[in-house]
Structure 1
Amino acid sequence: MRVGIIGLGYRLGYLAHVFSLMVKDFQVVGYVDPAPAGKAYAEERGVTFGKAYDTPEALLEAEDIDLLMVGSPNHLHLEHIKTGLAYGKKIFAEKPVVTSIEETMELAELIGKHPADQIMVGLVLRYAPLYVDLRKAQADGLLGDIVSIEASEHIPPYHGAFFQRDWRRYEKYAGSFMLEKCCHDLDLYNGVMGCRPAFVASFGGRKAFIPKNAPEKAGINDLEVYHRKPSGWQGSDRVFDGDGDIIDFQTAIVEYENGASLAFHTNMNVPDDFRRFAVMGAKGEAEGDFVRNFFKVTDARTAKRLIDSTYKSSDLSAHYGADEQMAADIAKHVEHGAPLPVSVIDALEAGLLALSMDEARRTRSVVDMAPIWRRFDAALARSKAA
């Protein structure tokens, strides 16, 4: 597989390593990045890179590639996706695909003008064994109609500090924290619900990574934990008094079109971190945790444990075994047309939910998503009619 990369940061440097292990004859034949922070990481693990190009157009003119991987800062994704589409290339875009409602509508208008599977997305948790097992239990009828979901994504302080120091600390580059970090999770639970979110309320702010909580104010000199994960482009050493505008915790409640509800919580300063869900159905309950590696299903009527599974952590995967599976499945799709478990439409719908959560948080109001879905469907319809 001949691959070109736009945006060779830490994520795509890592994925280049994973793809090289999972995909026969994987080659990065060219890349575009003025400061490729992830290149050294991949090279240390045996990945070789072709020529560096100054622009995406120069890369696409010079190289015959099977797949264009877009890992640039989020605010540049749409531009780079549009370039790849103009050259007729299969595209893998990291999440979130775009950063605003307007960009979502613009991309929606483009989608129907190209093959439905031309854009693939890095919503990697769709490939996680735990999520696959959850959807199987649901399909097997063990849960019945979904009534409510309680879920969270919590990240440890070293990772939260990375967000405070990296380019992702600026919403103008990354979008909101809910969009940048949690669109994975929102996509999962949209999938379980099987319908679109209808109403959203949310609260949150920044209370952990603020000046008064800086360790040096408490006489603590060991700051290694807050600098463990390196930052790349636009990086900073300031964790508690930096210039970023992202928040560090948020809660949201969502009512779906089928009347079921989701309660979701994220926090970036959780030392004993977890990423769990509890899915309550009319017939049973499913509980799992991506970090603590368990999955349970319990019958509602008998309280009998129907499934009780644990998972082995992967030394390679940053996402609980999902990165390897995603790489293998993307390759099968590109080379043989095999189906994938998530589409660009799924990704855009999860993004619109995240953006609506942030509107609800900022305005302290309940957001009715019906007007957004009307705009989205109209944009998709225009693309198909063009």
Structure 2
Amino acid sequence: MKVGIVGLGFRLGYLATVLNEADKDFEIVGYVDPAPAGMPGLEEAGILAGTSYATPQDLIAAGGFDLLMIGSPNHMHLDHIRLGLEAGLTVFTEKPIVVTMEETYALASLLHTYGHDRLLVGLVLRYSPLYRDLRKAQAEGKLGDVVSIEASEHIQPYHGAFFMRDWRRYGQYAGGFMLEKCCHDLDLYNGLVGTRPRYVASFGGRKSFTPANAPQNEGINDLEVYHRKPSGWMGSDKVFDSDGDIVDYQTAIVEYENGVSMTFHTNLNVPDEFRRFCVIGSKGMAEGDFVRGFFNVHSARTNEKTVANTYQAPSASSHHYGADEQMIDDVIAFMRDSTAQPVSAINALEAGILALAMDEARFGRKVIDLAPVWEKFDACLNGTESATLARSA
């Protein structure tokens, strides 16, 4: 498979190495990025990056590739997706695919015009073995009706410090931390519940990465703890005095259209990190942790443990608990014979809407009713909303 890349950052640089291992015909025809942070990884893997182009328009005009891959900063995604769809290309974009409600409506209108099957999205956790086993247990009736969910995504201080130093520290570029980092998780639980979120409340802020908490002659190697993960575009060395506007903790409460409730918590300063869930149903309870690699199901009738699985990534260098490899296999299968994917661009937009609503609720200290948002979103998807949205965003 031949690809063109817009935004050759760390993420697409890594995915290119996975693609190279999975497809003997893989080739990067060209890329657009004034400072390609993912280039060293490609060079280490012996992968040629192809021709450097000044603009996405130049890359698309040159052609010669099967798949356009977008890994540019989040606020650029909509324009780059639009260029690909208008050119008749199949597009793969990293999450989140847009950063505002207005962009969400604009992309929904584009999907109505060009079809959502031509836009693949990197919500990689849908491909993880653990989540697939959770959905299997649900399909087998082990949980019964889902009643409530407790879930979290917590990351270590070195990773939190990366967000304080990278371009993702600015909401105008990233869309906020819930959208940038946690849209994976929100998508999983949206899929599990099977209906859309209706009401959202949320609270949070920054309490860990503040000047008062900066190390003061404590024998801590700052380069190892807080600068281990390199920052890219608009990078900064400031961690505890970051000029960013993102949170370092947030809690949200969600009620879905079918009455299922969920609490979701994120924190960027957790030394023993975990990314876990507890799904309580009418007939059973499922617990799992992507980081610690386990999945258990208990029967509500007998207390018996009916599922007890453990997981290990396929290699020490594998990202996302081994899910990247499965995602790339599925992308290749789609390009060869249009094999259905486990996650769609519409799923990604729905998860993004929930994340954006969480921040709106946090900023306004209010409960958000998403009913009017879904009404407008569906109108855009169905082509009944003004087509000027897609042109003016």
Specify the TM-score bucket, using the shorter chain as the normaliser: over 0.9
2:302 maps to 302
- Displacement, 1:106? 0.4
1:74 maps to 74
1:197 maps to 197
- Once the two structures are superposed, residues 310-338 of structure 1 have per-residue CA deviations (whole angstroms, 9 ceiling, x without a partner) of 01233232100100000010010011111
- Displacement, 1:32? 0.3
- Aligned equivalents of 2:175 and 2:219: distance in 1? 33
1:22 maps to 22
CA RMSD of aligned residues (A): 1.2
Which residues of 2 match residues 1-386 of structure 1 at below 5 A?
A: 1-215=1-215, 217=216, 219-223=218-222, 224-314=224-314, 315-382=316-383
- Displacement, 1:218? 5.2
Q: Which amino acid aligns with 1:92?
A: F
Q: Which amino acid aligns with 1:228?
A: R
What stretches of structure 1 move > 3 A for 4+ residues in a row? 218-221, 383-386
- Displacement, 1:119? 0.4
Aligned to 2:8, the other structure's residue is in SS state coil
Asked whether the 8 Å contact 2:211–2:240 carries over to 1, the reply is: yes
- Displacement, 1:23? 2.1
Aligned to 2:255, the other structure's residue is in SS state strand
- Displacement, 1:384? 9.7
Task: Judge which range, 197-206 or 58-67, deviates more.
Answer: 58-67
- Displacement, 1:289? 0.3
- Aligned equivalents of 2:218 and 2:300: distance in 1? 51
- Displacement, 1:385? 10
Structure 1 stretches lacking a partner, 5+ long: none
- Once the two structures are superposed, residues 344-385 of structure 1 have per-residue CA deviations (whole angstroms, 9 ceiling, x without a partner) of 000000000000000111111111110111110111111799
TM-score, length of structure 1 as denominator length: 0.98
Q: Which amino acid aligns with 1:329?
A: D
Asked whether the 8 Å contact 2:376–2:385 carries over to 1, the reply is: no
Asked whether the 8 Å contact 1:112–1:383 carries over to 2, the reply is: no
- Aligned equivalents of 1:206 and 1:97: distance in 2? 25
Structure 2 stretches lacking a partner, 5+ long: 388-393
Aligned to 2:117, the other structure's residue is in SS state coil
Aligned to 2:353, the other structure's residue is in SS state helix
- Aligned equivalents of 1:172 and 1:385: distance in 2? 25
- Aligned equivalents of 1:385 and 1:341: distance in 2? 30
Asked whether the 8 Å contact 2:42–2:49 carries over to 1, the reply is: no
- Aligned equivalents of 1:220 and 1:213: distance in 2? 14
- Displacement, 1:19? 1.0
Task: Judge which range, 110-119 or 65-74, deviates more.
Answer: 110-119
Q: Which amino acid aligns with 1:341?
A: P
TM-score, length of structure 2 as denominator length: 0.96
Q: Which amino acid aligns with 2:323?
A: A
Aligned to 1:88, the other structure's residue is in SS state coil
Asked whether the 8 Å contact 1:77–1:98 carries over to 2, the reply is: yes
- Once the two structures are superposed, residues 168-197 of structure 1 have per-residue CA deviations (whole angstroms, 9 ceiling, x without a partner) of 001111110000000000000000000000
- Aligned equivalents of 1:297 and 1:62: distance in 2? 52
Q: Which amino acid aligns with 1:348?
A: L
- Aligned equivalents of 2:28 and 2:43: distance in 1? 11
Asked whether the 8 Å contact 2:209–2:239 carries over to 1, the reply is: yes
- Displacement, 1:86? 1.2
Asked whether the 8 Å contact 2:252–2:263 carries over to 1, the reply is: yes
- Aligned equivalents of 2:56 and 2:246: distance in 1? 29
Asked whether the 8 Å contact 1:145–1:281 carries over to 2, the reply is: yes
Aligned to 2:107, the other structure's residue is in SS state helix
Q: Which amino acid aligns with 2:139?
A: A
- Aligned equivalents of 1:137 and 1:338: distance in 2? 24
- Aligned equivalents of 1:198 and 1:255: distance in 2? 6
- Once the two structures are superposed, residues 224-266 of structure 1 have per-residue CA deviations (whole angstroms, 9 ceiling, x without a partner) of 2100000011000110002111111000010001101011000
Asked whether the 8 Å contact 1:13–1:39 carries over to 2, the reply is: yes
